[in-house]
Amino acid sequence: MKLQTQHALLELYPQVGYQKEALGLAKEVLDVNPDDKEGLRGKVQALVRQPKAQLAEALAAAERLTVLDPTDLRAQLQAQGIRHQMNTPPADLIAKAEALHEQYPNDARFELLLGATYLVLAQSDRGDMIQRERWGNDARKLLQTAAERTPPDAEFVRQLVGALDRYGLYGQSLDLLRRTVEAKGLGASQDAARDPAIMRMLVQRLYENVS
């Protein structure tokens, strides 16, 4: 089986519930190359979607992805999500995201990561009502700031649109989609502007606004 086909199946299998098959295929790919990114990503997805999620093993694979590429936003968000599922203290979750934000101060992906971390905590049962309100306010500020930046890639746009929508900031997510497709800003990602998923998101949002 060609590697490209294996990668496609690793993306598909967890989505349709074939976790056992995804794990088997991930092992086959990773036996050849332990640092195969799609192999690691498929392993993470399958492990967290099992009836009894294997969170420790999933976190190890997600963290390996972030070591291979610290700017892999999807992997960073997955790792934070798994840590949250493992009941990592909020202070530790925030400290992890803040450290990365400080390490990459001009990268909007880490602004989003920190904002998404605050958002998850704000919408959880962690802390008291006052603490969750504070986390929510912090999330809003960071997500809005990230949305004003030039999108670095399509993954950033997809993740930020999702976070903005979860906060109810639909107008800003629509504006982000428009700016991404127009690709007029300095350093704008042409790949993101041509990404079919981004185009579909924009068309669907525009249709919803007029229907």
What are the pLDDT digits (tens) for 156-205?
999 999 999 998 999 999 999 998 988 766 566 788 888 999 999 999 98
> Beta-carbon neighbour count of residue 60 at 10 Å?
16
Structure tokens at 185: 């800003």
The pLDDT of residue 86: 96
Lowest mean pLDDT among 54-68, 71-85, 173-187: 173-187
Q: List the domains of the chain with CATH numbers.
A: 1-68 (1.25.40), 90-211 (1.25.40)
Q: Would you say 181 and 173 are in contact if contact means Cβ atoms under 8 Å apart?
A: no
Cα gap 113→47, rounded to integer Å: 22
Is the separation of the CB atoms in 116 and 78 below 8 Å? no
pLDDT of 76 > 90? The answer is yes
What span, in angstroms and rounded, lies between the C-alpha atoms of 50 and 87?
Answer: 18
Q: 79 with 66: CB under 8 angstroms?
A: yes
Residue 71 above 80 pLDDT? yes
pTM over 0.75: yes
